[in-house]
Structure 1
Amino acid sequence: MESTSSPELLQMARWLAGDFSNQEQAWENPPFFASIRVAYRPLPTAVLGGIGFYVEQAYSGHLEEPYRQAVVELTQVGDGIVIRNYRPLQPQRWRGCARGRAEQLSQLSAADLAYLPGCDVQVKRQGSLFVGVTEPGCRCCVVRNGQTTYLQTTLHLSENEFCSHDRGMDPVTHRQVWGAVAGPFRFRKVVDWQAELLQ
């Protein structure tokens, strides 16, 4: 899983490395946005052979109980960047490692992960932003409340802000089934971990 670290890839990785909060957005519009924290903790280079992150997403009052755990890998493909998504095979083993037990992530290996086909996010630099969308094909399947949907993700990343909009779409009607209806979540970086990159 070797990846070439171009200047743009490194820039995106630096901006992504951190703990983000949408507290301001949640205060402004509580009916539509819960207060959420999302952490992108840099992984040791040996885990994926390049730039990777362990990701935890949790409600602000329950950081020890993340409702989403993932591993993402940043790779250069042509003139763009691809975010490859993986699912930890034993999520309970890594729970809490994004913030409190990051040293345990050195034990993580590619064998502990399942790649999620169809879920790559294709990213391009647009001015001062990195802008990404789920790869075409509607193949990133997510079962939510017994219903099969496909995930459609959009993201905007700047130096201090990360905006993401995850929506579950009906594979037949292509209408939204789950996800925020009031637009993307706006996260501000509250902890910076870029010093841990490429270690």
Structure 2
Amino acid sequence: MVISPELRALAEYMAGEFNNQAQALADPVWYVHLHLWHRPVPFNLFPEPSLILFAEQANIVNLNQPYRPRFIQLRSSLNPEFPLEAQYYMPQNISQVQGAGQDPERLQHLTPEDLKLLPGCTLNITYQVLSPNHYRFKAIPPKDQICCFSYQNKTYQVELGFEATQDEFFSYDKGIDPTTGKPLWGAMLGPFQFQKQSCFASLLPNDL
């Protein structure tokens, strides 16, 4: 498999700095004003061709305290119904990469051992062609898949999902109570609607 034009477009759309200021001002009860970073990892850590983003976010009033660090591996799929997919990973050492959204030097010395695979945390991705070389991507979890991870001896369940265009990123991520299956935090009334403020597409690797 190779890096298809659609896969590169998805990575370029996602690579950037975002915020949901307009949404937070319009509906502050349900939507916190967040800053979101998707920083390209400037090299591939996996045998198959893929593009990797480091993601974290922060409340606008505490930009120096980012949280939810994760890695997103974007790759092609052999499933003709879902030609692309996203696989999520946790950092093995959170302190090693925390803050890399604003300080990308923290990503320069990563190895495959620095990433922890999250089984069940994969998204199937489809796309709609809006015009030549312009797309709308939609990522959804496979049916009956459960995304869980452990942190500090506690198990967390997350329902992932997103949509991406050239200028917007909509996050459907929700924390789920593993006992009741009810959402606890996140996009409980609809997606967080992020607008791109800065583009990091030029930092994506070209030769894989």
TM-score (norm 1): 0.88
Letter aligned with residue 75 of structure 1? R
Letter aligned with residue 37 of structure 2? A
Deviation at 1:64, TM superposition (A): 1.9
8 Å CA contact 2:44, 2:51 repeated in 1: no
Matches of 1:149 and 1:89, distance apart in 2:
16
Deviation at 1:148, TM superposition (A): 5.8
**2:86 equivalent to 1:83:** yes
Matches of 2:154 and 2:43, distance apart in 1:
37
Structure 2 counterparts to residues 89-168 of structure 1, below 5 A: 89-99=92-102, 101-127=103-129, 128-141=135-148, 150-168=157-175
8 Å CA contact 2:20, 2:192 repeated in 1: yes
Letter aligned with residue 56 of structure 2? E
Cα pair distance change 1:169/1:104, threshold 3 Å: closer
Letter aligned with residue 196 of structure 2? K
Look up the match of 1:6.
Answer: 4
Deviation at 1:63, TM superposition (A): 1.9
Deviation at 1:136, TM superposition (A): 2.5
Matches of 1:22 and 1:51, distance apart in 2:
25
Query: Deviations for 1:50-83, whole angstroms, at most 9, x for unmatched residues?
Result: 3101111111122221121011110100241111
Matches of 2:127 and 2:159, distance apart in 1:
19
Mean Cα deviation higher: 69-78 or 177-186: 177-186
Structure 2 gaps, min length 5: 130-134
Deviation at 1:130, TM superposition (A): 0.1
Matches of 2:164 and 2:58, distance apart in 1:
19
Identity of aligned residues (%): 30
TM-score (norm 2): 0.85
Cα pair distance change 1:143/1:182, threshold 3 Å: farther
Deviation at 1:178, TM superposition (A): 3.4
Look up the match of 1:183.
Answer: 190
SS at match of 1:107: coil
* Number of equivalent positions: 195
Deviation at 1:118, TM superposition (A): 0.2
Look up the match of 1:29.
Answer: 27
Matches of 2:93 and 2:52, distance apart in 1:
18
Structure 1 gaps, min length 5: none
Mean Cα deviation higher: 117-126 or 61-70: 61-70
**2:62 equivalent to 1:62:** yes
Matches of 2:167 and 2:188, distance apart in 1:
24
Matches of 1:94 and 1:143, distance apart in 2:
18
Cα pair distance change 1:147/1:107, threshold 3 Å: closer
8 Å CA contact 1:129, 1:157 repeated in 2: yes
Matches of 2:175 and 2:4, distance apart in 1:
32
> Over the residues paired in the alignment, what is the CA RMSD in angstroms?
2.2
Matches of 1:52 and 1:181, distance apart in 2:
27
Deviation at 1:152, TM superposition (A): 1.9
